[in-house]
């Protein structure tokens, strides 16, 4: 029992030290990528790449879990934030993400009080042309891009994928492992691949 308690105490001290290191490292990463942010907390350090003409703005009380230690639900990767040239990634207040990929080639807007589960991917692009002839050459392999909007109080379950052109209404819940291919109204629960309406949320 004493060994167990001693292990727990040592582990807590080490975790607190590492949390401070990760916070400092994340501040440096944000600064190096010209990310405008307010206060945040993090477990682990994210991967961030913002192009010189890209814009990334993060609101108050932003929370990040990078790697399995931050949120042990089966995702080992760290958060990825990518903003392409001329694109905008806007994140509101009180947003939490875990091992999440935010890949922004045009515009992604995330409202306030949004919870994004482990391993969620949000893409505003197809990445490649849908036509095989155009994919054969880099100069013609141009992807379709459409903005993504996640409104206030949305909860997106683990391992879900949000695709280009989608708007998710306020208070809506997306079930785990869903693929969202079209816009969803407020106050509803959707789940599946592709995501389908499950029921209304009575507030």
pLDDT digits (tens, 9 = 90+) for 152-194: 999 999 999 999 999 999 999 999 999 999 999 999 999 999 9
Segment 69-88 shows an average pLDDT of 88
Q: Is the pLDDT of residue 131 over 90?
A: no
Domain containing 36 equals: 2-200
Tell me how many degrees the CA angle 31-37-40 measures, rounded to the nearest 5.
105
- Find the range with the poorest average confidence among 1-15, 59-73, 162-176: 1-15
CATH of the domain at 169: 2.160.10.10
Q: How many CB atoms lie within 10 A of CB 27?
A: 14
- The Cα diameter of the chain in Å comes to 67
Closest CA to 156 of 196, 106, 121: 121
CA distance 201 to 187: 5
Q: Which residues are catalytic?
A: 128
Instruction: State the DSSP H helix or E strand holding residue 101, giving kind and residue range, or none if neither.
Output: strand 101-104
The Cα–Cα gap between 80 and 100 comes to 6
Average per-residue pLDDT for the chain = 91
pLDDT at 135: 75
Asked which of 70-74, 90-94, 96-100, 199-203 is least confident by mean pLDDT, the reply is 70-74
pLDDT of residue 67: 83
Q: Is 50 exposed, middle or buried (0-12, 13-18, 19+ CB in 10 A)?
A: buried
How many domains does the structure of the chain reveal?
1
Interatomic CA distance for residues 96 and 123, integer angstroms:
17
């Amino acid at each position: 029992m004493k060994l167990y308690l001693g292990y727990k105490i040592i582990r807590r001290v080490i975790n607190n030290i590492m949390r401070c290191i990760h916070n400092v490292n994340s501040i440096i990463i944000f600064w190096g990528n010209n990310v405008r942010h307010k206060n945040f907390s993090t477990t682990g350090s994210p991967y961030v790449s913002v192009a010189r003409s890209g814009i990334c703005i993060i609101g108050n009380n932003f929370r990040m879990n990078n790697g399995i230690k931050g949120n042990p639900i089966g995702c080992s990767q760290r958060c990825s934030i990518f903003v392409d040239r001329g694109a905008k990634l806007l994140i509101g207040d009180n947003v939490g993400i875990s091992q999440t990929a935010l890949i922004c080639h045009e515009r992604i807007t995330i409202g306030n009080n949004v919870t994004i589960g482990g391993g969620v991917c949000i893409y505003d692009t197809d990445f490649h042309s849908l036509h095989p002839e155009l994919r054969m050459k880099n100069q013609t392999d141009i992807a379709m891009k459409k903005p993504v909007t996640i409104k206030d109080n949305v909860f997106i379950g683990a391992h879900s994928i949000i695709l280009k052109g989608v708007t998710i209404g306020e208070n809506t819940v997306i079930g785990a492992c869903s693929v969202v291919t079209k816009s969803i109204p407020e106050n509803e629960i959707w789940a599946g691949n592709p995501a389908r309406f499950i029921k209304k949320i009575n507030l």
